[in-house]
C-alpha cells in the first residue's frame, strides 16, 4: 500500500495500557478529548492497573488470583475471597476515575452484576464437575477467558461514563461476550461490536478482551488486548495504530543511564520483535505481525505527553546504521553437555519438546559439538522441571541451570558497526566480566551474557559507548 493510500485513511485505533488506565481521569482532557475533534478514533482499553493480576495471577510474582485459586479445586473456596477482593479493587478504581455520584453508582452496579455473574458461573461449574462425566480441568481455559473479560469490560464502561459526563458521544463496546450464546470468530466479534457505529461522530471505547471461537487466552495469554487492538486496526484499515504508555520508547531505562537517554523517535518492526523477545514489549509480536501485514504503521507515545509524537514503528530501514536501544533481561541458562553428543541427532528435538511441554520461552540459543545451551525466560520451578525431564532422558549427560542476564544492543542496521568488538571493549573498560557474546548475520542485535549483579552496569556501559558517545560525535560534526 502506498503512502498516499495510507494518508487517505481517516481514523486511528489507539490503546491505553493498564498502568495508564489507572490515571485515566488525568487523560480525559489531554488525550481522550481532543480540543479540535475528539472523534475519528477508536480506543481499546486494558483493565485498570492490577485488576488482571487479581483476576488471574500476578504477572511477575506469580501470586495467585481468582483463576489460580479456582484451578486448585480445593474445598475452602479461597477463590471466592479473591473475587471479593477484586470487586473491592474495581470499585476503588472507578471511584478514582469518576466524579459524579450517579456515574459512580452506575459503575458499582455494573461491577456487582459482573462479579455476581462470574461467581454464580464458577459455583455452577464446580457443582457440575462433582459428576464423574465432567472434569474441571477441561473447562479451565474458558474460565480464564471469562475472568479476563471482567477487567476490560469494567474499565471500558467506566471510561465511557466519564466521557459522556464530559459531553462526548462515547460508546461502550463490549467484546467480552458476556451472556452471549453465539460462537463467533475474532473478526466477526469485532464487526458485530462496531456495527452501526459512526466513528466520525462517536468515540468507541472497546474492551481489550474479545471472546471468540479461537480463544485469545489460549493463544496469546496476557497479550490478548494488544492482539484485539491490532486486529481491530487491521480490519478497519486504520491510518495509524497508537499505543499510549506511561513512558517513551527510549534508548535505555533512564533509571540506569540517567540523562543520556534518548527517545527513539523512529524504528521498525524488526527492532520491535527483538525488544519483545527480550521482555521489553513495544507490542506483542503477533499483534505486530497483524499490523505489518495490513500496512498499518504503529506509534508508541507517552500518554501523559500527548503533544509529543512519540516513536513511529514501520517497515522503513534506518537512515543511519547504529545501535538504537540497549536493554537487558534476566534469564536461566539451561546447559546440556554430553561427550557423545557430537554427530548424534535427536538432542535438539528432545530439549525443544521439554521446553514446549513446560511452556518456557526461548530467548536465545548457542551450541557446539557436545553442548547445547538455551537461554530461557520463565519461572525457576518450570525450568527445573525441564531440567529433571532432560536428566531422565539423558542419564549420562551433565544438565545444569544458571541464573544470568542477557544485555542486548539493538538497532535496525548494525552492519559495519563493530558492535560485538566495541561492546566487549566497553564492558572490559568498565571492569565487567562477559560470560559469552553472540551476534547473528541478521545485524539487528548483539547479545552479551552477564552475571545478574552486573547487568545494570553493563547496560549503562554499552549505552554510553553506543548512544551517548555517538550523539556527541554527531553534534560535534
> What does the pLDDT read at residue 21?
94
Residue 2 has pLDDT above 50, yes or no: no
Residue 316 has pLDDT above 70, yes or no: yes
> What does the pLDDT read at residue 6?
44
Kindly indicate the confidence band of residue 9, based on its pLDDT and cuts at 50, 70 and 90.
Answer: low
In 171-322, which residue ranges form alpha helices assigned H by DSSP?
186-193, 216-220, 224-235, 254-257, 269-277, 285-293
Q: How large is the average pLDDT for residues 367-389?
A: 94
pTM for the whole thing? 0.87
> Grid coordinates in use for 51?
485488576
> Grid coordinates in use for 57?
495471577
pLDDT tens-place string over residues 204-240: 999 999 999 988 888 888 889 999 999 999 999 999 9
> What does the pLDDT read at residue 475?
72
Q: In this structure, are residues 72 and 140 in contact, taking their beta carbons and an 8 Å threshold? A: no
pLDDT tens-place string over residues 131-147: 878 888 888 989 999 99
Helix or strand run (H / E) with residue 70: helix 66-71
Residue with cell 565487567: 432
CA distance 316 to 441: 19
Higher pLDDT, 455 or 218: 455
CA distance 454 to 464: 16
> Grid coordinates in use for 352?
525443544
Kindly indicate the confidence band of residue 75, based on its pLDDT and cuts at 50, 70 and 90.
Answer: low
What are the backbone angles phi and psi of residue 378, rounded to the nearest 5°?
A: 165, -175
Q: Which long-range contacts (CB under 8 A, 24 or more apart) does 67-76 make?
A: 67/140, 67/143, 67/144, 67/147, 70/122, 70/143, 71/136, 71/140, 71/143, 73/126, 73/136
- Write the burial class of residue 317 (CB in 10 Å: 0-12 exposed, 13-18 middle, 19+ buried): exposed
Q: How large is the average pLDDT for residues 86-93?
A: 97
Q: Is 473 left (phi over 0), alpha (psi -120 to 50) or beta?
A: alpha
Residue 1 has pLDDT above 50, yes or no: no
- Write the burial class of residue 131 (CB in 10 Å: 0-12 exposed, 13-18 middle, 19+ buried): exposed
Buried b (16+ CB within 10 A) or exposed e, 414-440: beebebbebbbebbeeeebebeebbbe
- C-alpha distances in angstroms, 40 versus 34, 172, 177, 196, 277? 11, 15, 25, 14, 33
> What does the pLDDT read at residue 172?
98
Higher pLDDT, 376 or 247: 376
Going by C-alpha positions, the residue among 306, 287, 284 that lies closest to residue 296 is: 287
DSSP 3-state of 227: helix
β-pairing, 361-367 vs 12-16, is: unpaired
> What does the pLDDT read at residue 280?
77
Helix or strand run (H / E) with residue 462: helix 455-463
pLDDT tens-place string over residues 98-137: 999 999 999 999 999 999 999 999 999 988 888 878 888 8
The pLDDT mean for the chain works out to 92
> What does the pLDDT read at residue 4?
46
> What does the pLDDT read at residue 337?
96
How many other β-carbons are positioned within 10 Å of the β-carbon of residue 300?
A: 23
pLDDT tens-place string over residues 385-404: 999 999 999 999 999 999 99
Give 318's DSSP letter. P
> Grid coordinates in use for 262?
534518548
> Grid coordinates in use for 71?
484451578
Going by C-alpha positions, the residue among 393, 389, 396 that lies closest to residue 355 is: 389
DSSP 3-state of 182: coil
- Write the burial class of residue 36 (CB in 10 Å: 0-12 exposed, 13-18 middle, 19+ buried): exposed
Q: How large is the average pLDDT for residues 362-379?
A: 94
How many other β-carbons are positioned within 10 Å of the β-carbon of residue 61?
A: 9
Q: In this structure, are residues 217 and 276 in contact, taking their beta carbons and an 8 Å threshold? A: no
Q: DSSP string of 408-431?
A: EEE-SB-TTS-HHHHHHHHHHHTT
CA distance 437 to 373: 13
CA distance 43 to 64: 30
Q: In this structure, are residues 330 and 278 in contact, taking their beta carbons and an 8 Å threshold? A: no
pLDDT tens-place string over residues 159-188: 999 999 999 999 999 999 998 877 899 999
Kindly indicate the confidence band of residue 7, based on its pLDDT and cuts at 50, 70 and 90.
Answer: very low
Q: In this structure, are residues 454 and 328 in contact, taking their beta carbons and an 8 Å threshold? A: no
CA distance 175 to 172: 10
β-pairing, 434-439 vs 445-451, is: antiparallel
Amino acid at each position: 500500500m502506498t503512502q498516499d493510500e495510507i494518508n487517505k485513511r481517516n481514523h486511528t485505533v489507539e490503546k491505553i495500557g493498564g498502568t495508564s488506565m489507572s490515571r485515566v481521569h488525568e487523560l480525559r482532557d489531554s488525550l481522550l478529548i481532543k480540543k479540535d475533534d475528539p472523534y475519528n478514533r477508536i480506543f481499546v482499553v486494558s483493565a485498570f492497573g492490577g485488576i488482571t493480576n487479581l483476576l488471574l495471577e500476578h504477572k511477575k510474582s506469580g501470586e495467585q488470583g481468582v483463576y489460580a485459586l479456582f484451578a486448585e479445586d480445593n474445598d475452602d473456596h479461597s477463590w471466592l475471597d479473591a473475587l471479593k477482593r477484586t470487586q473491592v479493587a474495581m470499585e476503588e478504581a472507578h471511584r478514582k476515575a469518576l466524579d459524579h455520584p450517579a456515574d459512580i453508582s452506575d459503575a458499582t452496579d455494573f461491577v456487582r452484576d459482573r462479579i455476581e455473574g462470574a461467581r454464580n458461573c464458577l459455583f455452577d461449574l464446580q457443582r457440575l464437575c462433582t459428576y464423574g462425566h465432567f472434569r474441571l480441568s477441561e473447562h479451565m481455559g474458558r474460565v480464564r477467558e471469562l475472568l479476563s473479560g471482567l477487567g476490560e469490560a469494567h474499565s471500558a464502561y467506566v471510561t465511557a461514563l466519564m466521557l459522556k459526563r464530559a459531553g462526548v458521544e462515547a460508546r461502550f463496546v463490549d467484546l467480552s461476550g458476556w451472556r452471549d450464546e453465539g460462537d463467533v470468530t475474532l473478526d466477526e466479534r469485532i464487526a458485530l461490536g462496531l456495527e452501526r457505529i459512526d466513528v466520525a461522530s462517536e468515540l468507541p471505547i472497546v474492551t481489550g478482551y474479545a471472546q471468540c471461537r479461537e480463544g485469545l487466552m489460549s493463544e496469546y495469554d496476557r497479550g490478548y488486548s494488544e492482539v484485539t487492538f491490532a486486529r481491530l486496526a487491521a480490519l478497519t484499515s486504520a491510518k495509524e495504530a497508537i499505543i499510549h504508555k506511561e513512558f517513551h520508547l527510549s534508548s535505555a531505562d533512564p533509571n540506569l543511564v540517567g540523562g543520556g537517554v534518548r527517545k527513539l523517535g523512529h524504528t521498525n518492526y524488526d527492532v520491535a520483535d527483538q525488544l519483545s523477545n527480550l521482555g521489553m514489549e513495544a507490542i506483542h509480536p503477533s499483534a505486530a505481525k497483524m499490523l505489518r501485514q495490513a500496512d498499518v504503521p504503529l506509534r508508541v507515545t507517552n500518554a501523559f505527553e500527548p503533544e509529543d509524537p512519540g516513536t513511529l514503528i514501520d517497515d522503513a530501514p534506518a537512515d543511519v546504521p547504529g545501535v538504537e536501544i540497549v536493554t537487558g533481561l534476566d534469564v536461566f541458562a539451561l546447559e546440556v553437555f554430553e561427550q557423545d553428543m557430537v554427530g548424534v541427532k535427536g538432542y535438539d528435538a528432545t530439549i525443544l519438546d521439554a521446553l514446549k511441554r513446560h511452556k518456557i520461552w526461548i530467548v536465545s540459543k548457542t551450541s557446539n559439538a557436545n553442548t547445547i545451551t538455551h537461554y530461557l525466560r520463565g519461572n525457576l520451578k518450570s525450568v527445573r522441571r525441564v531440567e529433571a525431564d532432560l536428566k531422565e532422558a539423558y542419564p549420562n549427560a551433565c544438565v545444569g541451570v544458571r541464573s544470568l542476564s542477557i544485555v542486548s544492543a539493538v538497532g535496525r542496521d548494525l552492519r559495519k558497526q563493530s558492535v560485538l568488538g566495541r561492546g566487549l571493549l566497553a564492558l572490559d573498560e568498565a571492569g565487567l566480566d562477559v560470560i559469552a557474546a553472540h551476534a547473528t548475520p541478521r545485524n539487528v542485535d548483539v547479545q552479551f551474557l552477564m552475571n545478574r549483579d552486573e547487568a545494570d552496569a553493563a547496560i549503562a556501559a554499552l549505552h554510553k559507548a553506543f548512544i551517548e558517545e555517538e550523539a556527541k560525535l554527531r553534534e560535534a560534526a
